[in-house]
Amino acid sequence: MMRFRQVIDPLSPENKLLLATGPMSGTSAQSFSKWIAVTKSPLTGTFSRSLGGGDFGAWLKWAGFALIIFEGRAAQPVYLHITDGKYEIRDADAIWGKTTSQTHAYLKKEHGPKARMVYVGPAAEKLVRFSPIISGRRAAGRGGMGTVMASKNLKAIVIEANRSETLANPAEFKRLVRQQIKGYKETMDGVVFQEFRKHGTVMGLDWFYSNFGSIPMKNHRFGELEGWPENIGMWPYAEVTEKHVGCYGCMIKCGKVRRIPSGPYAGISSEGPQLETAWAFSGPTGCTSRDATIVASHRCDELGLDTISTGNTIGFAYELFEKGILTTKDTDGLVLNYGDHEPMLELIEKIARREGLGNILAEGVKRAASHIGKGAEEYAMHVKGLEMPGYDPRARKGMGMNWALGNMGANHNYGWPQQEIHDPKPRLLDPVADEGQGDVLKWNHDQTAALELAVACYFSSHHLQFFDLGLVAKMLEAALGVPRFGSEDYLWYVGDKVYNLERCFNIREGFDRKDDTLPKRFLTEPLRGGIRDGEVVRKPDAILDQYYDVRGWDRNGIPTKETLARLGLEELDRDIARFRR
Ligand code: SF4
Instruction: Report the nearest-CA residue for atom 1 of ligand 1.
Output: 460
**Ligand 1 mean position to 81 CA, how many Å?**
26
Give the pLDDT of residue 58. 97
Distance CA 112, CA 94 (A): 17
Please work out whether the CB of residue 103 comes within 6 Å of at least one atom of ligand 1: no
**Ligand 1 mean position to 33 CA, how many Å?**
9
What long-range pairs does 575-579 form, CB within 8 A, spacing at least 24?
575/3, 575/4, 575/504, 575/507, 575/508, 576/504, 576/507, 576/508, 579/507, 579/512
Sign of CA dihedral 104, 106, 111, 112: positive
Per-residue pLDDT for 212 more than 80? yes
Distance CA 499, CA 184 (A): 29
Q: For 363-380, what is the mean pLDDT?
A: 98
Of ligand 1's listed atoms, the one at least distance from the Cα of 250 is 6
**Ligand 1 mean position to 253 CA, how many Å?**
6
Distance CA 107, CA 138 (A): 17
Task: Ligand 1 pocket test: pick from 257, 459, 461, 465 the residue with the most ligand atoms within 8 Å of its Cβ.
Answer: 459
For residues 145 and 48, the answer to whether their CB atoms sit within 8 Å is yes
Q: For 460-469, what is the mean pLDDT?
A: 90
Give the pLDDT of residue 6. 58
Distance CA 153, CA 4 (A): 26
Please work out whether the CB of residue 216 comes within 6 Å of at least one atom of ligand 1: no
**Ligand 1 mean position to 246 CA, how many Å?**
6
Please work out whether the CB of residue 54 comes within 6 Å of at least one atom of ligand 1: no
**Ligand 1 mean position to 417 CA, how many Å?**
19
Instruction: Report the nearest-CA residue for atom 2 of ligand 1.
Output: 254
Q: For 347-356, what is the mean pLDDT?
A: 98
pLDDT band at 524 (very low <50, low <70, confident <90, very high): very high
pLDDT band at 463 (very low <50, low <70, confident <90, very high): confident
- Report how far Cα 519 is from the mean position of its chain's Cα atoms: 20
Instruction: Name the residue with higher pLDDT: 414 or 217.
Output: 217
Task: Ligand 1 pocket test: pick from 36, 51, 203, 460 the residue with the most ligand atoms within 8 Å of its Cβ.
Answer: 460
Give the pLDDT of residue 73. 98
Please work out whether the CB of residue 33 comes within 6 Å of at least one atom of ligand 1: no
Q: For 515-544, what is the mean pLDDT?
A: 98
Give the pLDDT of residue 173. 98
- Report how far Cα 572 is from the mean position of its chain's Cα atoms: 28
Please work out whether the CB of residue 254 comes within 6 Å of at least one atom of ligand 1: yes
Other beta carbons less than 10 A from residue 73's beta carbon: 14
Give the pLDDT of residue 316. 98
Please work out whether the CB of residue 247 comes within 6 Å of at least one atom of ligand 1: yes
Per-residue pLDDT for 4 more than 60? no
pLDDT band at 462 (very low <50, low <70, confident <90, very high): confident
Of ligand 1's listed atoms, the one at least distance from the Cα of 32 is 5
Give the pLDDT of residue 272. 84
Nearest CA to 182 among 431, 487, 466, 389? 466
Q: What does residue 411 show for φ and ψ, rounded to 5 degrees?
A: -110, 115
Please work out whether the CB of residue 253 comes within 6 Å of at least one atom of ligand 1: yes
Q: Which residues pair with residue 154 across a beta bridge?
A: 78
- Report how far Cα 322 is from the mean position of its chain's Cα atoms: 29
pLDDT band at 1 (very low <50, low <70, confident <90, very high): very low
Q: Could you give the 3-state DSSP secondary structure of residue 534? A: coil
Distance CA 389, CA 309 (A): 8
Distance CA 402, CA 253 (A): 28
Per-residue pLDDT tens for 11-59?
999 999 999 999 999 999 999 999 999 999 999 999 999 999 999 999 9
The single-letter code of the amino acid at 170 is P
Distance CA 148, CA 39 (A): 8
Q: Strand 154-160 to strand 78-83: parallel, antiparallel, or no bridges (unpaired)?
A: parallel
**Ligand 1 mean position to 52 CA, how many Å?**
10
**Helix 364-372 to helix 307-323 angle, to the nearest 10 degrees?**
30
Per-residue pLDDT for 434 more than 60? yes
Give the CA-trace dihedral at 99, 102, 108, 114, to 10 degrees: 60
Strand order across the beta sheet in which 78-83 lies: 86-91, 78-83, 154-160, 116-119, 133-135, 138-140
Largest CA distance in the chain: 68
Distance CA 83, CA 112 (A): 12
Task: Ligand 1 pocket test: pick from 457, 462, 463 the residue with the most ligand atoms within 8 Å of its Cβ.
Answer: 457
Q: Average pLDDT, whole number, for the chain?
A: 96
DSSP string, 100-160: HHHHHHHHHHHH-TT-EEEE--HHHHTT-TTPPEEETTEEE-SSSHHHHHHHTTEEEEEEE
What letters, b where the CB count within 10 A reaches 16 and e where it falls short, cover 47-66? bbbbbbbbbbbbbbbbbebe
Q: What does residue 164 show for φ and ψ, rounded to 5 degrees?
A: -150, 160
Distances (CA, A) of 332 to 276, 357, 418: 28, 7, 43
Q: What is the CA radius of gyration of the chain?
A: 23
Give the pLDDT of residue 137. 82
Please work out whether the CB of residue 139 comes within 6 Å of at least one atom of ligand 1: no
Distance CA 314, CA 349 (A): 11
pLDDT band at 456 (very low <50, low <70, confident <90, very high): very high
DSSP state of 333: T
Q: For 493-521, what is the mean pLDDT?
A: 97
Sign of CA dihedral 74, 103, 19, 133: positive
Distances (CA, A) of 578 to 512, 546, 563, 572: 12, 23, 16, 11
Name which of 314-318, 401-405, 460-464 the model is least confident about. 460-464
For residues 535 and 433, the answer to whether their CB atoms sit within 8 Å is no
Task: Say what percent of the chain tops pLDDT 90.
Answer: 94
Distance CA 35, CA 18 (A): 10
Nearest CA to 393 among 519, 307, 287, 281? 519
Distance CA 288, CA 285 (A): 9
Give the pLDDT of residue 79. 98
Per-residue pLDDT tens for 94-148?
999 999 999 999 999 999 999 999 999 999 999 999 999 999 889 998 999 999 9
